[in-house]
Amino acid sequence: MPQLRAVPLTVFLLVTSLLAAASLSSDTLFLSCSGAADNFTSPSPYASNLLSLISALISTTPETPNLFSSRITAGPSQAFGLAQCRPDASPAVCSACLANAAAAALNTSCPGNKSASVRNVYCVLRYADHAIASVLEYPSFSSVFSPENASNPALFGQQLGSMLSGILPVASSSPLRIAGGVNGVDAGMNYTVYGLAWCTADLSPENCYQCLDHALMSYTGCCDFSLGGGSITISCIVSYNILPFFNASLIQNASAISPPPTQFKTAIVRRSGQRKRIILAVSISAAVVSALILIYIIFFICRKKQAARKISKLTAEEKMSATDSHLLPFSSLKSATNNFSVENKLREGRFGPVYEGVLSDGQRVLVKRLPRASGQGLVDLKNEAALVSQLQHRNLVKLLGCCVQDDETLLVYEYLPNASLDKHLYDPARRAKLDWETRHLIIEGIARGLVYLHNHSRLRIIHRDLNCTNILLDAEMNPKISDFGHAKLVGIDESQWDTKQIAGTSGYMAPEYALRGLFSTKSDVFSYGMVVLEIITGRRNGSFTNLQTYVWQNWSQEKAERVIDEGLDGEYRVEQVLMCIKIGLLCVQAEPEERPSMATVVLMLSSDAEMLPAPSRPAYFTDGSLPISSSSELSDNYVVGSMDMTRPR
Strand partners, 33: 116
The catalytic position among 465, 483, 524, 565 is 465
Question: Which residue blocks in 404-463 are alpha helix, DSSP H?
Answer: 421-425, 428-431, 436-455
The secondary structure element, H or E, covering residue 71 is: strand 67-73
Dist CA 203 CA 178 (whole Å) = 11
Longest dimension (CA), the chain: 83
Nearest of 32, 31, 49, 34 to residue 113 by alpha carbon: 34
φ/ψ of 270, rounded to 5, equals -115, 140
Q: Report d(CA 27, CA 428) in Å as an integer.
A: 56
In sequence order, which ranges of 265-411 are alpha helices (DSSP H)?
286-312, 316-319, 330-336, 376-388
Q: Are 158 and 164 in contact (CB under 8 A)?
A: no
String of DSSP letters for 121-144: SSEEEEEESS--TT----S--EEE
CA distance readout (Å), 577 to 395, 529, 568? 22, 14, 11
Whether 235 contacts 171, CB under 8 Å = no
Kindly report whether the peptide bond that precedes residue 43 is cis, defined as omega within 30 degrees of 0.
Answer: yes
The type of residue at 526 is F
Cα 525 to chain centroid, rounded: 15
Best CA proximity match to 454, nearest among 310, 602, 352: 602
Told to judge if 465 belongs to the known catalytic residues of this protein, a careful annotator would answer yes
Cβ atoms within 10 Å, residue 253:
13
CA distance 503 to 506: 9
| 201 contacts 84 by C-beta, under 8 angstroms | yes
Task: Please name which of 23, 239, 26 lies closest in space to residue 146, comparing C-alpha atoms.
Answer: 239
List all residues 6 or more positions away from 420 whose beta carbon is below 8 Å from its beta carbon. 347, 468, 469, 470, 471, 472, 473
Q: Find out whether 240 and 196 touch, Cβ atoms under 8 Å.
A: yes
**Residues annotated as part of the active site:** 465
